[in-house]
Amino acid sequence: MTSHAQARTFDLKVFVAAVRDSLLKLAPRHQVKNPVMFAVYLGSILTTVLWIRSLGAAEGESPGFILGVGAWLWFTVLFANFAEAIAEGHGKAQAASLRNSRTQVVARRLVDRRAGVSEDVPAPDLKVDDLVIVHAGDVIPADGEVVEGAASVDESAITGESAPVVRESGGDRSAVTGGTKVISDWLVIRVTTLPGRSFLDRMIAMVEGAKRQRTPNEIALAILLAALTLIFLLVVATLLPYSRFGVEASGQGRPITLTVLVALFVCLAPTTIGALLSAIGIAGMNRLSRANVVAMSGRAVEAAGDVDVLLLDKTGTITLGNRQATAFHPAEGVSERELAEAAQLASIADETPEGRSIVVLAKDRFGIRGHELRGGGHLFVPFTAQTRMSGVNIDGRLVRKGAAEAVARHIQSLGGVTPDSLAERVREIARSGGTPLVVSRDAQALGAVELKDIVKGGIKERFSELRRMGIKTVMITGDNPMTAAAIAAEAGVDDFLAEATPEAKLALIREYQKGGRLVAMTGDGTNDAPALAQADVAVAMNTGTQAAKEAGNMVDLDSNPTKLIEVVNIGKQLLMTRGALTTFSIANDVAKYFAILPAAFAATYPVLKSLDVMRLSSPASAILSAVIFNALIIIALVPLALKGVRYRPVGAAQLLRDNLLVYGLGGLIVPFIGIKAIDLVLSAIGAV
């Protein structure tokens, strides 16, 4: 995790900055962006005007009551601003850290590549397809592709990881990021982005909450809240003439005042979710940043919450990526120990992960130590692509280990024959998803060593969780269908695509999307770019090619393919948090009916006193208590909006029941308790 992402929710600097920004956000141009809070903002101005007017009036409402209502309406607006500002604060802190890491450098642009002639130009003057050369100690001036050379690069300014990474021409590790530093050797880089459009620039723009674009679902909810606000506004507006008519008809009571109408409107409108909506979205982006994933759009984060198909590469995601020796299968007449000794002897000089795993397995099974086998007169035979074998010549004996076909030819050349039973065992290992290596001594086949690409620990349980979430997992592999099926069964994935080509991946994604499903996948190579561009959620690895990063809508700075599962969890948490607080906000309003309506109309319609179930001390106290509670609940819910509702891998029906039980019922009960408690405090201090 990056150091610049590790900010506490209420860091003092962030808190102070949020308080300042809360006041700055009182500007009308900012308030108008949120229709719900803009209505509260206008109500605050109106009550302020009414208070100033009441100071010189001989009769009418108490100036103290109007001042109290007006002040707490302003607090409501300020608390909404604060919720948004505190969420933006973390993004701004991270963006500032990234800006500090970006320095203006002079690039050495190649004028004549063959002759090695270069000219010094400011990095902002570089154009796409320019070639620049960087040496050890230089800062890479722009995003690009390595076209020549290999070097270690310090990417800690972006990823937070101090360990250098290798960048080289060709393959999937050729992309470099502007602002990172070369610490060894040299590179020739072809510039691929214009100034101001680099990965670092986009990263800064996305992690800074002030520049975050609202997602489609967030816009839809904002429209719904605006519509509800308009409905409540119309309802409240009709109450004034209705109240005056009621007073004239009954000959008792007093018409409802503008102050009470404003208070009623603010308490009935969905102000809680309206105040927290922006903060929830920004906090979701921040959680993604803390996971070291940079989203190129908020739409991708939201889509991650709705994903129902995950495409996962086998190697490095589902499996460890390095085949490990798991079993010895001796031929007829050969003991397992004899096979293990020969296999280890043939693997002493093999520095591959597979070779080392054979040495370890022989040691674990039989206590055979490699150093005990070393001695004079040994001639180690290294593995080559031509022979497909390795081994050792010792004491006039030829010990070999390698592919079944290669060792069979070797045995045949020495006048021996591979037993049919061993050949059949080799085929069984292959069918089960393993890789067989045959071991021989001179012209005798001793048996086979089974290698397996080990499935990661805990991955099967994670796939079970995804299944409970209603998400289908599909393994993508270049293995043959038989091997792929065996690994898929062991890992617990729902389906697999074997012998996968870029065209096959693309076709599979389109097939799922035609069925109305949202697809997520990871990738790092240029051959993954078409599929990444097609997927709804596409997480590109930071170590991957520039083409992959351009095609994806997210970049994982840690280059961890399993991060996709975490991205899905963050997306679902964002949607759940928004849904839970919307439920709480709407349920909240019900309790306020029982506080304000009796207080406003009981004098005219005494029968409404029966609705005063809380037995509030006075009409003025009831109205003021409801307004105060409406403001305080926003602040109380800020930590939940920033942290998010905890997501559990259960079905949608269960999630809905839990949401209604906790936030629906809670939204009904909490206001009754809160308003009554505030009423008791106001009565005790004689405020009303």
Q: What are the residue numbers of the active site? A: 313
Judged by phi (left if over 0) then psi (alpha if -120 to 50, else beta), residue 137 lies in left
Phi, psi torsion values for 32, nearest 5 degrees: -65, -15
CB 188 within 8 A of CB 133: yes
CA atoms within 13 A on the CB side of 381: 19
Cα separation, 18 vs 363, in Å, equals: 61
Could you give the C-alpha distances from 265 to 80, 88, 90, in angstroms and in order?
17, 29, 33
Cα separation, 10 vs 14, in Å, equals: 7
Cα separation, 77 vs 31, in Å, equals: 9
Q: What DSSP state is assigned to residue 662?
A: I
Phi, psi torsion values for 189, nearest 5 degrees: -120, 135
208-165-535-288 Cα dihedral, nearest 10 degrees: -30
Beta strands 435-441 and 319-330: pairing type? unpaired
Helix or strand run (H / E) with residue 522: strand 519-523
Helix or strand run (H / E) with residue 152: strand 144-154
Beta strands 554-556 and 537-541: pairing type? parallel
Instruction: State both tokens at 451.
Output: 């290698």
- Give the distance between the most distant pair of CA atoms in the chain: 122
For 31, residues 6+ apart whose C-beta sits below 8 A from its C-beta are 25, 37, 38, 41, 77
CB 537 within 8 A of CB 307: yes
- Residue found under tokens 């607006």: 77
Cα separation, 15 vs 357, in Å, equals: 53
Three-state SS string across 453-474, please? EEECCCHHHHHHHHHHCCCEEE
- Residue found under tokens 């190649």: 110
For 608, residues 6+ apart whose C-beta sits below 8 A from its C-beta are 597, 598, 601, 602
Neighbours of 335 (CB within 10 A): 12
For 142, residues 6+ apart whose C-beta sits below 8 A from its C-beta are 107, 123, 126, 132, 178, 189, 191, 192, 193, 195, 198
- Please classify residue 506 by burial: count the beta carbons closer than 10 Å to its beta carbon, then call 0-12 exposed, 13-18 middle and 19+ buried: middle
CA atoms within 13 A on the CB side of 676: 11
Q: Which of 673, 625, 623, 601 is nearest to 265 (CA)?
A: 623
Three-state SS string across 231-284, please? HHHHHHHHHHHHHHHHHHHHCCCCCCCHHHHHHHHHHHCCHHHHHHHHHHHHHH
The string over 552-576, giving b where at least 16 C-beta atoms fall within 10 Å of a residue's C-beta and e elsewhere, is bbbbbbbbbbbbbbbbbbbbbbbbb
